[in-house]
A and B are shown apart, each in its own frame.
Chain A
Amino acid sequence: MKGWWWKGISVALLLYVVVVGLRTRLGPTLVHASIDRIAPGGASLEATGYNTHFLRETPQAWLENDGQRICATHVEVVSNNSFKADFNVPAGLRSNLTSLWAWDAKDGPLVLRDAFFTEGLGQGMAGESCTVGSAPRKGFNFPNRSILNETIRNLFFHVPMWFTMMVLMTIAFWQSLMVLRTGDPAADRKALAAVDVSLLFAALGLITGSIWARATWGDWWTSDPKLNGAAVTVLIYAAYLILRGSVPDPHKRARLAAIYNIFAFALMLVFTMVLPRLTDSLHPGNGGNPAFSQYDLDSSLRAVFYPAVAGWVLLGLWAYDLQRRYARLKHLADEVNDR
């Protein structure tokens, strides 16, 4: 691609991703209740929220059991992130799990699902459910999920690394095909440049993924089909570089490297696209484990994720372009020196 405009777009997109992706607050949610079981009679609890605004307006609080609601008799706000509530729990609730809900105009409905183990079950409570507010929250926030918490922002960095790597490896694959078809040494230089840059992005993908795994799964590395696929990919392209290093003759090197690249790329696609779907996996998007689309009910993640993918891919192409031009100049300089 000629010109500077797409480099400008890349920088602008990544600037937007860093600023919006890191500065947008997570949506408010309830994270903790001070008790974990309720029995018929009086119950008092203190609920803890995250990014909530209880001081602005005392929230409504209620328990919900199998569609039946029990409103708090008294709510006392302690801080922006916590309130105390008292309930009169009736006998005969139907489900043994009860959720805690709260609502205020700023935060919208908040829920701590299945927060309490319920005692004194029966055929449902007598009397009507109370009425509560339901107006949704306004404003732009990222989804707040347990376990993921603030690390959800890593979506804009970890995932695009692999997308960029795949784009660059596809370029390398294409250039390798060109090497076999035309024997053009420039195509070989392009393939090598693309592999070099794609390995950089693979390393960044591994680092961001490792940090994320540590924060959510509790370990830097786990044995998982998706992670094995990533490891195999990196090993394949490291082997590609070693193969290049062990053949001195440039024409032979170009051809052998192209053959290995084509063989390995085709198999890598099979290994990383098909194999992880065959087995169970912790990783989102595999083995019946949904990707991020399920969290992203109001598309707030998409509003940053898509620009992030475009920005990182363009940055990768930019790096590839520089690497390719550097290799060409070096080649020309070598030719001059040889003369």
Chain B
Amino acid sequence: MHTAEIAHLLRLEWELDRRQKHVWGSMALYVVSTVYVCYQGVRHLAEVPVWNALFWIILLFAAFNALGRSFQRESQGRQLYLYTLASPRSVVLARTLYNALTMAVLSLLSLCAYALFIGSGPLEQSRADIFLAVVLAGGIGFAMALTLIAALAARAGNGIGLMAILGFPIVLPMLLSVMKASKLALDGMGWNVTGKYVLWLVLIDLITVALAWLLFPYLWRD
């Protein structure tokens, strides 16, 4: 494991994003406009299950949208150059970490927009700390599960469409448990009830990262 290499790659990602500010702008705009469309449809939502489900649906599609581009923004040539400089495992770990950070920011942003437009009523009787932890764990989990899928879809030369098809069955079980955990947190349940779901999420995250680490070298080799 090359920590220095991974740190360098993370810096590279950050620099790329800093120079292309429109990328972050487009992600934020995607989330806000989706939330606004939902707002036009439902105005204020007070029922906890529907509020919860709608939030996760929005976040899921935001994740596909944000992560789908993570292996597509560089040209083939620059990708090849990058791979000659760094080991593929460092590349995939750095990408995964960076995507996780992106998704953490994006899920908080989505939550703010969502609470602003659709209503923060369900949050008021909830264990907000646990709900926040579950939202972060869920967003980061999406990033970890979908990074390898995004690389696969980019390699197959087929954009977000293929990524949704390949990624949906992978994130579905994760989505089910994260929705359940956040529903429990909204109902005001403590860690003793929600803890096992969060633990389970962390376990899946570790497994997906380990698999990505194992498989990625075969993916970029042409």
Contacts and interface: CB of A to CB of B under 8 A. Distances in A.
Interface of A: 180, 228-229, 231-232, 235-236, 239, 242-243, 246-247, 252, 255-256, 258-260, 262-264, 266-267, 270-271, 274-275, 278-279
Contacts of A270: 203-204, 207
B170 A267 contact: yes
| Interface residue range, chain B | 20 to 34
A239 B172 CA distance: 13
A263 B196 CA distance: 24
Given A239-B169, A256-B156, 13 more contacts: A228-B176, A232-B169, A232-B172, A242-B165, A243-B156, A243-B162, A243-B165, A258-B218, A263-B149, A263-B170, A263-B212, A264-B169, A266-B211
Given A229-B173, A247-B156, A242 B207 contact: no
Interface in B190-222: 196-197, 200, 203-204, 207-208, 211-212, 215, 218-219, 222
B152 A264 contact: no
A266 B207 contact: yes
A255 B222 CA distance: 9
Contacts of B211: 262-263, 266-267
B150 to A, nearest CB: 12
6 contacts: A228-B176, A236-B170, A239-B169, A259-B215, A275-B173, A278-B197
Contacts of B208: 263, 267
A178 to B, nearest CB: 12
Contact of A263 (B165, B180, B215): B215
B173 A271 contact: yes
A253 to B, nearest CB: 8
B215 A264 contact: no
A259 B218 contact: yes
B158 A264 contact: no
B155 interface: yes
B168 A262 contact: no
B166 interface: yes
A262 to B, nearest CB: 6
Nearest to B157: A247
Contacts of B103: none
Contacts of B91: none
Interface in B107-165: 145, 148-149, 152, 155-158, 162, 165
A246 B218 contact: no
B196 A278 contact: yes
Contacts of A231: 172
Nearest to A251: B222
A259 B196 contact: no
Contacts of B207: 266-267, 270
Contacts of A262: 211, 215
B76 to A, nearest CB: 13
Interface of B: 145, 148-149, 152, 155-158, 162, 165-166, 168-170, 172-173, 176-177, 180, 196-197, 200, 203-204, 207-208, 211-212, 215, 218-219, 222
Q: Which 8 A-B pairs have the closest CB atoms?
A: A235-B169, A271-B173, A236-B169, A246-B158, A239-B166, A247-B156, A259-B215, A180-B218
A239 B156 CA distance: 13
A188 to B, nearest CB: 13
B219 A228 contact: no
A231 B172 CA distance: 10
A235 B172 contact: yes
Contacts of A229: 173
Contacts of A263: 148-149, 170, 208, 211-212, 215
A277 to B, nearest CB: 11
Given A180-B218, A267-B207, A278-B196, A243 B152 contact: yes
Contacts of B169: 232, 235-236, 239, 264
B162 A256 contact: no
Contacts of B197: 278
Contacts of A243: 152, 156, 162, 165-166
Name the residue in B152, B165, B169, B197 with the highest tally of chain A Cβ atoms < 10 Å from its Cβ. Answer: B169
Contacts of A247: 156-157
A246 B215 contact: no
A242 B173 contact: no
Contact of A232 (B173, B180, B212): B173
Which of B145, B148, B156, B157: most chain A Cβ within 10 A? B156
A172 B208 CA distance: 20
A258 B148 CA distance: 13
Contacts of B172: 228, 231-232, 235
Contacts of A271: 173
Interface centre among B157, B203, B218 (most CB of A within 10 A): B218
Nearest to A253: B156
Nearest to A271: B173
A229 B172 CA distance: 10
A21 B61 CA distance: 48
Contacts of A246: 156-158, 162
B158 A260 contact: no
A264 B152 CA distance: 12
